[in-house]
């Protein structure tokens, strides 16, 4: 199982008018409830994380593991959606996820957790696996339960 995971609006929910707290590792503090809910998802599904966030290009996989661990999230595995090295080379999120799906992602049981409304334009087979969060709330209990329904559906 795979969780295609955005960061801003899912784990980081600080309003744009307020400064985001930066932790000792140099990355933003996660919303505590969102972090707890992500850990619950990982425990209940044994899912791996695939980062879709634009932040993915800024850190190595090892650094991402440390960032998640420092915020109380123990991951099985973390990967990046693709091998893009800069924000300038990235396509829009929906296009990148569709490419992932077309290039083998369709073989996996996955859920997409993101606040990007452009994901509503994805083909139905992919869109039906999306949980769209509210940017100021993030991964709350309802969104977590929706993700669990998608991943655990028989």
In whole angstroms, give the CA distance from residue 14 to residue 24: 18
Q: CATH number of the domain that 75 lies in? A: 3.40.50
**Domain range for residue 46?**
2-152
Q: List Cα–Cα distances, 21 to 25, 91, 133, in angstroms.
A: 11, 28, 21
Query: Could you write out the three-class secondary structure of 46-87?
Result: CCEEEECCHHHHHCCHHHHHHHHHHCCCCCCCEEECCCCCCH
Q: What is the pLDDT along the chain (154 residues), one digit of tens a residue?
A: 999 999 999 999 999 899 999 999 999 999 999 999 999 999 999 999 999 999 999 999 999 999 999 999 999 899 999 888 777 766 789 999 999 999 998 999 999 999 999 999 999 999 999 999 999 999 999 999 999 999 998 6
**Number of domains the chain is built from:** 1
């Amino acid at each position: 199982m795979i969780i295609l995971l955005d960061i801003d609006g899912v784990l980081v929910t600080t309003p744009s008018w307020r400064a985001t707290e930066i932790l000792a590792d140099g990355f933003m503090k996660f919303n505590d409830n969102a972090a707890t809910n992500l850990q619950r998802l990982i425990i209940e599904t044994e899912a791996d994380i695939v980062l879709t966030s634009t932040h993915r290009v800024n850190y190595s996989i090892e650094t991402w593991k440390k960032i998640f661990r420092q915020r109380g999230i123990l991951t099985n595995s973390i990967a990046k959606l693709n091998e893009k090295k800069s924000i300038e080379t990235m396509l829009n999120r929906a296009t990148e996820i569709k490419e992932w799906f077309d290039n083998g992602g369709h073989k996996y049981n996955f859920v997409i957790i993101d606040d990007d409304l452009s994901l509503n334009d994805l083909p139905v087979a992919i869109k039906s696996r999306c949980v769209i969060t509210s940017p100021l709330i993030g991964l709350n209990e309802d969104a977590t339960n929706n993700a669990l329904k998608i991943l655990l559906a028989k």
